[in-house]
Amino acid sequence: MLVVDASVAAKWALPEPDSGRALALHARGETLLAPSLIAAEIGNAAWKRVRRGLLTRDQGLEAIRIAVELISRIVPDIELYQPAAALAVDFGHPIYDCFYVALASREQSTLVTADARLLALASRIGISVEAL
């Protein structure tokens, strides 16, 4: 079981560096988990590309759908907000990222991310991590 963040999931549907590695991660067939805020984060990445003229409206909407549907289980944020908030306050890290760390901790899973700061935080508190 792996917890994936938006830096990984967005690469499944949006052309980015390391998209091939992200798709290979999905192809491993492991259960992939994410907090529900991942839909907003992927949506924001797609929206920015539509605004810049890099994707059409329909391409942006399709990218969001594809990335979200490739996640095996999406966990409601309400289940994670307390430990995420505690992590954010205790470590001075954005709460959005802390939802992924809180989920990995709760599920005793490995966190997969392309975000160096998030990797450092998770490692610092003893969460198993995998850099994309």
Nearest to 71 by CA among 8, 116, 16, 19: 8
The stretches of 1-132 forming alpha helices (DSSP H) are 6-13, 19-27, 37-51, 57-69, 81-91, 95-107, 116-124
129 forms beta bridges with 111
Q: 32 — phi, psi (to 5°)?
A: -110, 125
pLDDT at position 73: 97
Asked if residue 37 lies in contact with residue 44, where contact means CB atoms within 8 angstroms, the answer is no
In this predicted structure, the answer to whether residue 112 has a pLDDT above a threshold of 90 is yes
pTM: 0.94
Q: What percent of the chain has pLDDT over 90?
A: 93
pLDDT digits (tens, 9 = 90+) for 13-64: 998 888 999 999 999 999 999 999 999 999 999 999 999 999 999 999 999 9
Domains of the chain: 2-131 (3.40.50.1010)
- pLDDT band of residue 102 (cuts 50, 70, 90) is very high
